[in-house]
């Protein structure tokens, strides 16, 4: 069966030179079994004739928002509901700005605003327009809103410039759509991830914390989202930008983090505790700044809640994964933590002279479960996160198929 069989795809075409390549995109989508509805902007019609696209797609092209005859048939809301996927190729700088601004000033922007289908953009423009701060700001806004970006490619441009801004080739655009149409390892699951350090207040201006940068947890969140999960990232204070397409909750202390996790746990399928949660907090944070009056200060610390253990003990426990950072006896200590807390899996990073993961782009992880031990080796945090998510998905599905039988 073709990979896009019966998939409803709205192909949006905007006013750029690359619009002549849209005909080839329609042809390839149809070849893969998709049902294609072309929606064009007014400017797009100056670059390619609607008749060509109508002939290739087998459906009348839609181009007008204020069209009474269309509204009694397939109006803008019907197109938005009908779509399984929207792809805009080429996406002009002007269209990108309108979409980032949440405009509904023509049929294509209105359909994009009304739809719950995923939206992919294949930008095409002069390199100066692409590099312009305004365009980059609009692209950042759209990717943070969950819109996917296909390209642009770099190279010689129609205007004679060389640089980024060329539309991806039609075959590459269609390949991306086919990849995203595949069943992904965590499709349909809710995944909650904690990341970063916690800050335990000493007084209104000081806190006890640790060296966690949040990079590992953020990479795990991005990998889970790429695997199709609906991700909530509960993060202590970090300097990082949250990955796009996830729900983000910022917290400070371990108690805040626990409260945020408890709100998620009811609907959570997989929990991954990557945060370096402080074990202790000051018993009584001072209500005003502690002054430098005495030579020494004694702090009384009390135990923080053990978020990971509480999640694992919950009657509706999700598949629960912990992280351990150990300086001595890493593997035996992690195995002990796995059993004591009742985890399904634990990822261990050993802190020693050759591996200090704090703030680094790289790490060395070993995964331990009751059944096995896998050394993922030393790699970038991004690659380790992808490997970890693949392992979690495979074990989560195994556990559920066993429970279902």
Ligand X SMILES: Cc1cc2nc3c(=O)[nH]c(=O)nc-3n(C[C@H](O)[C@H](O)[C@H](O)COP(=O)(O)O)c2cc1C
- Coil, strand or helix: which one is 114? helix
Query: Which residue stretch of 13-21, 66-74, 169-177, 394-402 sits at the interface with ligand X (rule: CB under 6 A)?
Result: 13-21
Residue nearest to ligand X (CB): 16
Q: Which is nearer to ligand X, 158 or 171 (CB)?
A: 158
Catalytic position from the list 49, 159, 162, 299 = 159
DSSP-H helix ranges across 266-357:
307-313, 330-341
Provide the minimum distance between the beta carbon of 123 and ligand X in the complex, in angstroms, as a whole number.
Answer: 8
Question: Which is nearer to ligand X, 114 or 290 (by Cβ)?
Answer: 114
- The phi, psi pair for 191, rounded to 5°, reads -120, 125
Q: By CB under 6 A, is residue 95 in contact with ligand X?
A: yes
Cβ contact 125:157 at 8 Å: no
From the list 8-16, 76-84, 197-205, 264-272, the region that binds ligand X by CB under 6 A is 8-16
* Residue with the two structure tokens 């294609």: 36
The residue (of 43 and 265) whose beta carbon lies closer to ligand X is 43
What is the CB neighbour count within 10 angstroms for residue 31? 11
Q: Is 14 an interacting residue with respect to ligand X (CB under 6 A)?
A: yes
CB of 245 to ligand X, least distance (A): 24
- For residue 120, give the nearest of 96, 156, 153 by alpha carbon: 96
Residue 19: CB minimum distance to ligand X, A: 8
- Angle subtended at Cα 313 by Cα 312 and Cα 315, rounded to the nearest 5 degrees: 110
Place of tokens 């365009």: 135
Q: Does 43 bind ligand X (CB under 6 A)?
A: yes
Question: How near is the Cβ of 125 to ligand X at its closest, in Å?
Answer: 4
Among 57, 85, 92, 349, binds ligand X (CB under 6 A): 92
Contact pattern from residue 119 through residue 158 relative to ligand X, giving x for each residue in contact according to CB under 6 A and a dash for the rest: -----xx---x-----------------------------
Full DSSP string of 223-283: HHHHTT-EEEEEE-S-SPPPPTTSEEEE--SHHHHHHHHHHHHTT-SEEEE-SB--SEEES
Task: Pick the closer one to ligand X by CB: 19 or 223.
Answer: 19
280 is written with which tokens?
């202790």
d(CA 253, CA 304): 9
Site stretch for ligand X (CB under 6 A), options 38-46, 185-193, 275-283, 359-367: 38-46
What is the nearest approach in angstroms of ligand X to the Cβ of residue 115? 18
Diameter of the chain by CA atoms?
85
**Of 139 and 207, CB closest to ligand X:** 139
| Strand pairing report for 119-123 and 85-91 | parallel
Instruction: Return d(Cα 237, Cα 250) in angstroms, integer.
Output: 7
* Contact status: 17 vs ligand X (CB under 6 A): yes
Q: Is 159 tagged catalytic?
A: yes
- Residue closer to ligand X by CB (options 80, 348) is 80
**Residues contacting residue 403 through CB under 8 Å, at least 6 positions apart:** none
205: its two tokens: 């201006």
Q: Measure the CA–CA gap between 39 and 91, rounded to whole angstroms.
A: 12
- Among residues 11, 23, 44, 347, the one that binds ligand X under rule CB under 6 A: 44
Closer of 142 and 227 to ligand X (Cβ): 142
Residue 93 touches ligand X, criterion: CB under 6 A: yes
Q: Does 198 bind ligand X (CB under 6 A)?
A: no
- We find the least distance from the C-beta atom of residue 257 to ligand X, in angstroms, to be 44
How crowded is the C-beta side of 273, counted as CA atoms within 13 Å? 33
Catalytic residue annotation: 159
Residue numbers of the site for ligand X (CB under 6 A)? 14-18, 41, 43-44, 92-95, 124-125, 129
């Amino acid at each position: 069966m073709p990979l896009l069989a019966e998939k409803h795809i709205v192909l949006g075409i905007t006013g750029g030179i690359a619009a002549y390549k849209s005909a080839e995109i329609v042809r390839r989508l149809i070849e893969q079994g998709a049902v294609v509805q072309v929606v064009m902007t007014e400017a797009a019609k100056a670059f390619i004739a609607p008749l060509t696209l109508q002939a290739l797609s087998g459906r009348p092209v839609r181009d007008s928002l204020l069209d009474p005859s269309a509204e009694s048939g397939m109006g803008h809301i019907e197109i938005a509901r009908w779509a399984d996927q929207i792809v805009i190729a080429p996406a002009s700088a002007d269209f990108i700005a309108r979409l980032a601004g949440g405009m509904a000033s023509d049929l294509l922007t209105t359909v994009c605003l009304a739809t719950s289908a995923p939206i992919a953009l294949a930008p095409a423009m002069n390199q100066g327009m692409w590099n312009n701060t305004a365009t980059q700001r609009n692209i950042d806004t759209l990717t943070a809103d969950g819109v996917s970006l296909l390209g642009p490619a770099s190279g010689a441009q129609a205007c004679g410039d060389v640089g980024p801004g060329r539309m991806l080739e039609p075959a590459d655009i269609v390949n991306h759509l086919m990849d995203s149409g595949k069943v992904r390892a965590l499709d349909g699951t809710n995944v909650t991830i904690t990341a970063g350090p916690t800050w335990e207040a000493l007084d209104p201006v000081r806190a006890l914390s640790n060296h966690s940068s949040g990079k590992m947890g953020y990479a795990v969140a991005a990998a889970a989202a790429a695997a199709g999960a609906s991700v909530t990232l509960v993060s202590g204070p970090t300097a990082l930008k949250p990955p796009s397409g996830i729900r983000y909750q910022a917290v400070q202390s371990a108690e805040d983090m626990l409260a945020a996790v408890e709100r998620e746990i009811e609907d959570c399928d997989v929990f991954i505790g990557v945060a370096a949660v402080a074990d202790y907090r000051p018993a009584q944070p001072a209500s005003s700044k502690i002054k430098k009056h005495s030579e020494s200060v004694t702090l009384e610390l009390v135990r923080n809640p053990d978020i990971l253990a509480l999640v694992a003990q919950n009657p509706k426990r999700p598949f629960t994964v912990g992280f351990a950072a150990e300086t001595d006896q890493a593997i035996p200590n992690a195995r002990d933590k796995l059993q004591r807390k009742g985890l399904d899996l634990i990822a261990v990073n050993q802190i020693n002279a050759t591996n200090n993961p704090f703030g680094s782009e790289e790490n060395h992880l070993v995964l331990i479960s009751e059944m096995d031990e896998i050394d993922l080796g030393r790699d970038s945090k991004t690659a380790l996160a992808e490997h970890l998510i693949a392992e979690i998905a495979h074990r989560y599905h195994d556990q559920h198929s066993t429970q279902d039988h």
